[in-house]
Amino acid sequence: MSTAQPAPAREPAWSLSRSAISLWVAQGVVATVVEALVVAALIVFVPSDAGVWTVLVRWVAPVVVLVTAVVDIGVQPRLRYRVHRWEVTADAVYTLTGWLNRTWTLVPISRIQTVDVNRGLVQQLFGLATVAVLTASSQGTVRIPHLEVEVARRVAEDLARRAEQVRDEAT
Amino acid sequence: MSDPAAPPVQRTSRWVLLLHTITFRQARALVPAVLGLGAARGFDGGTVTVVVLVVGVTLLSLLWATLSWWRFSYAVGESSVVVTRGLLSRSVRTVPLDRVRGVEVEAPALHRLFGLVRLKVDAAAGSVGATGEELVVDGVTRAEGDRLRALLLVARLPPARGRHAASAELDPDVPQDHDEVVTRFDPRWLLYSPLVGGYLAVPLAAFGALFRLLEEVPDRFVPDLDRPGLPDGTLAALVLAGGLVLLVGGSVAGSAVVNWRFRLVRRGGSLIATRGLVTRRHTELEIDRIRGCTVSQGVGMRLVGAARASALVTGLGDAARRGQLLPLGPQDQAWALADRLVEPTGPLRRHPAAARRRSVVRGVVPGVLVLVAGVALTALAGWWPLLVTGAVLTALGVPLGLARHAATGHATGPRSFAVRSGWLVREHVVLQRRAVVGWQVSQSFFQRRGGLATVLACVGAGSGGYAARDMAADEAADFARAASGSWADTLSPAR
């Protein structure tokens, strides 16, 4: 990483649940298994006299799978955990997401329209939930991924209540 | 409405049956099935089969139209409008009047023949975009249409004017005393049309349809044209010139059909746009809900100083078309209009040198990829045209990147802010500070190295977000703060 350049925005205060790392690792493992199966199938079905294709399938594809496995399982979850942060301030919801590319999202509580709590299949295994804060803009949605279920529920309730109190036109 | 307690349930005009039968409005869905059936069985039954088919489909269409008409009703009450419809499953939709954002009265050619209009009601919705949010009442008489429009919009009128004033409003096409004409379309502006991509597409699409039709015509009907005895060069030149004339004429005609007698008037708290030659459209925008304006100019339009202006309105469906304030005209007019609705900002701030480098790199990359492939092909197979194409594309990428960078910029004013981008179509967006419902600052890996960031203002109008790409990273937080409010201070890095 280059270090000289300052970030364009402040870092939100709070980090996610540590279970998020396990979840990302699990996702990486699943993706790797699927990729490995596809490559294995290709190795079986592509004949050995197909020239360039044989080389691609037998040597290049496994290497690619191996590299992505290392990145997806070993590097990306920890890096993501270091980057991902969130915060609810007195008048706004603020998140930072991504790992290579980063996105800071800020939505004032007065412009919140609805607050959802979503629990995906894998998230349920790790006791996590995502809080989605929706505004009048299709692009102005804040998602706080992978919070502990209890935390997510409390945050959502709190935000919905406060939005009700301070809402102006919300558009 | 005479009795506010129980608003009378009303139906659309009976003439709409005829209208929908002729246009196969509901039966249109059946056409592919019928064609499929016909193709499977073969159309070789001759005239009888065709007649039977036509009569059958028409009867079906009539039946369907009757059923839909019979099952459709509407009622405008004191506080809400209720529309009931559905052939098998009943759907009852209730829209509170205070959520009605706009009413569009449309009179397509056939409707006009029967003296009918079609009403489209925009009801406010959270995330704009779905056309399903719109309520359509198709086929009421002109007078009833105007009455409905007035009733639906009554909730937005100041109480002093009251209901009577509202229902007294007449045909929108007829000017009234208190109207102020904001823009009147000058027919000479139609000459700009050939330079606008959208209008150029009109004759091209027509050509396409014509050629497809020609291919369908059996060979024996096609006249056997002899090649005229002209040298090849002359013929090619003639065809080219003819095509060009048709293209220019077609685009002017297409634009004339859509924009004919465009007029923008201000009536009370609304802007009303009327336009169209065949289908006369009438759109009403509430000035209070306007959050910003865009002035967009394509490459060709910039050459002659033409522009198009649109308003960004919250809760407006099909915003690109309905928000238009000036479909085509001189840029001075477009700017005057935009400045009138949204306080102008100062001149734009350009983005830093790192942004220019990045823009050039982005412009050149596709060319370089082709070039590399070309080098490989030349070395392996001795096939060089790709190499040349790659070199040309790479060379063209540099001016393209520079031009794209020159188009970007941002500015903040006391009550508004602006972002501009795009080379093929340059879009200058001016937004009110209150329009912002959120900020999204993003930084890709490469942007981080260059000290750049993209700042997206999330807005509940128009396309939902407007970005200033590649601004200096350390300006991002200040820009957001200046363009929205103190709540955006949260972004400011601790200093």
Q: Is B493 on the interface with A (CB under 8 A)?
A: yes
B166 within a domain of the structure (yes/no): yes
Cβ–Cβ < 8 Å for B126, B111 = no
In a shared domain, residues B188 and B221? yes
Q: Do A134 and B449 touch (CB under 8 A)?
A: no
A1 within a domain of the structure (yes/no): no
| Paired tokens of A127 | 């006791």
Q: Which residue has the higher pLDDT, B9 or B444?
A: B444
In a shared domain, residues A46 and A103? no
In a shared domain, residues B248 and B330? yes
Total domain count for chain A? Answer: 2
Total domain count for chain B? Answer: 2
Q: Is B459 on the interface with A (CB under 8 A)?
A: yes
B372 within a domain of the structure (yes/no): no
Q: Is B431 on the interface with A (CB under 8 A)?
A: no
Q: Is B466 on the interface with A (CB under 8 A)?
A: no
In a shared domain, residues B162 and B236? no
B448 within a domain of the structure (yes/no): no
In a shared domain, residues B50 and B130? yes
CA distance A132 to A93: 11
In a shared domain, residues A91 and A24? no
A8 within a domain of the structure (yes/no): no
Cβ–Cβ < 8 Å for A130, A120 = yes
- pLDDT for A51-71, tens place per residue? 778 888 888 899 999 999 999
Q: How far is B274 from chain A (nearest CA, A)?
A: 27
Q: How far is A141 from chain B (nearest CA, A)?
A: 8
In a shared domain, residues A91 and A146? yes
In a shared domain, residues A70 and A120? no
CA distance B114 to B427: 41
In a shared domain, residues B281 and B224? yes
Residue B66 CA: distances (Å) to CA of B2, B21, B91, B489: 29, 9, 17, 60
Name the amino acid, one letter, at B215: E
Cβ–Cβ < 8 Å for B466, B416 = no
In a shared domain, residues A38 and A90? no
A2 within a domain of the structure (yes/no): no
Of B437, B463, B494, the CB nearest to A135: B437
User: Does residue A153 register a pLDDT over 60?
Assistant: yes
Which CATH number belongs to the domain containing residue A111 in this structure? 2.30.29
In a shared domain, residues A122 and A152? yes
User: Does residue B55 register a pLDDT over 70?
Assistant: yes
In a shared domain, residues A110 and A40? no
CA distance B54 to B97: 43
B257 within a domain of the structure (yes/no): yes
Going by the DSSP 8-state scheme, the letter that residue B314 receives in this structure is B
A9 within a domain of the structure (yes/no): no
Q: Do B459 and A137 touch (CB under 8 A)?
A: yes
Chain A and chain B share a number of CB contacts under 8 A equal to: 141
In a shared domain, residues B129 and B273? no
Q: Is B460 on the interface with A (CB under 8 A)?
A: yes
Q: Kindly report the number of other CB atoms within 10 A of residue B164's CB atom.
A: 8
Can you say whether the dihedral through the CA atoms of B443, B445, B446, B450 is positive or negative?
A: positive
A3 within a domain of the structure (yes/no): no
Half-sphere exposure of B112 (CA within 13 A, CB side): 11
User: Does residue B466 register a pLDDT over 90?
Assistant: yes
User: Does residue B160 register a pLDDT over 50?
Assistant: no
Q: Which domain range does residue B236 map to?
A: 181-288+323-338
User: What confidence score (pLDDT) does residue B23 get?
Assistant: 76
- pLDDT for B170-220, tens place per residue? 445 555 667 788 888 998 999 998 888 778 877 788 777 777 777 766 666
Whether ipTM exceeds 0.85: yes
- For B329, phi then psi, to 5°, come to 180, 180
In a shared domain, residues B328 and B273? yes
**Among A32-36, A43-47, B122-126, B244-248, the range of highest mean pLDDT:** A32-36
Q: Do B127 and A104 touch (CB under 8 A)?
A: no
Of B127, B442, B494, the CB nearest to A10: B494
- pLDDT for B398-417, tens place per residue? 999 999 999 999 999 999 99
In a shared domain, residues B190 and B47? no
B362 within a domain of the structure (yes/no): no
User: What pLDDT band is residue B124 in, cutting at 50, 70 and 90?
Assistant: low
In a shared domain, residues A89 and A21? no
Comparing alpha-carbon positions, the chain A residue that sits nearest to B443 is A102
Indicate yes or no: pTM above 0.80: no
In a shared domain, residues A105 and A74? no
User: Does residue B67 register a pLDDT over 50?
Assistant: yes
Q: Which residues of A touch B444 (CB under 8 A)?
A: 100-101
Of the residues A31, A48, A82, the one at which a domain ends: A82
Q: Do A135 and B451 touch (CB under 8 A)?
A: no
In a shared domain, residues B23 and B157? yes
Average pLDDT over residues B473-491: 91
Q: Is B440 on the interface with A (CB under 8 A)?
A: yes
**Cβ neighbourhood burial of A94 (10 Å; 0-12, 13-18, 19+):** buried
A95 within a domain of the structure (yes/no): yes
Of the residues B273, B308, B338, the one at which a domain ends: B338
A115 within a domain of the structure (yes/no): yes
At B81 the three-state DSSP class reads: strand
Partner A, chain B 106-145, Cβ-Cβ below 8 Å: 126-129
- pLDDT for A94-109, tens place per residue? 999 998 899 999 999 9
Spatial neighbors of B175 by CB under 8 A, at least 6 apart, are B181, B265
Of B314, B474, B480, the CB nearest to A171: B314
Q: Which residues of A touch B490 (CB under 8 A)?
A: 10, 87, 89, 91-92, 94, 106
Nearest to B428 by CA among B448, B407, B401, B413: B407
Q: Which residue has the higher pLDDT, B42 or B469?
A: B469
Partner A, chain B 345-384, Cβ-Cβ below 8 Å: none
In a shared domain, residues B69 and B100? yes
Half-sphere exposure of A148 (CA within 13 A, CB side): 7
Q: Do A106 and B439 touch (CB under 8 A)?
A: yes
Q: How far is A154 from chain B (nearest CA, A)?
A: 22
Q: Kindly report the number of other CB atoms within 10 A of residue B133's CB atom.
A: 18
Q: How far is B470 from chain A (nearest CA, A)?
A: 11
In a shared domain, residues B187 and B327? yes
Percent of chain B's residues with pLDDT above 90: 34
In a shared domain, residues A43 and A103? no
A4 within a domain of the structure (yes/no): no
Range list of H helices, B13-95: 15-22, 31-41, 47-71
In a shared domain, residues A160 and A101? yes
Nearest 10 degrees: CA dihedral of B348, B353, B354, B357? 110
Q: Which residues of B touch A104 (CB under 8 A)?
A: 439-442, 491
Q: Which residues of B touch A135 (CB under 8 A)?
A: 437-438, 458, 460
User: What confidence score (pLDDT) does residue B128 get?
Assistant: 39
- pLDDT for B68-96, tens place per residue? 888 888 888 877 788 887 776 677 777 77
Comparing alpha-carbon positions, the chain A residue that sits nearest to B314 is A171
Q: Which of A33-37, B124-128, B318-322, B370-374 has the lowest mean pLDDT?
A: B124-128
Mean pLDDT taken over chain B: 82
In a shared domain, residues B145 and B276? no
Q: Do B460 and A92 touch (CB under 8 A)?
A: no
Q: Which domain range does residue A42 map to?
A: 15-82
Cβ–Cβ < 8 Å for A110, A91 = yes
Q: Which residue has the tokens 């060319």?
A: B367
In a shared domain, residues A103 and A40? no
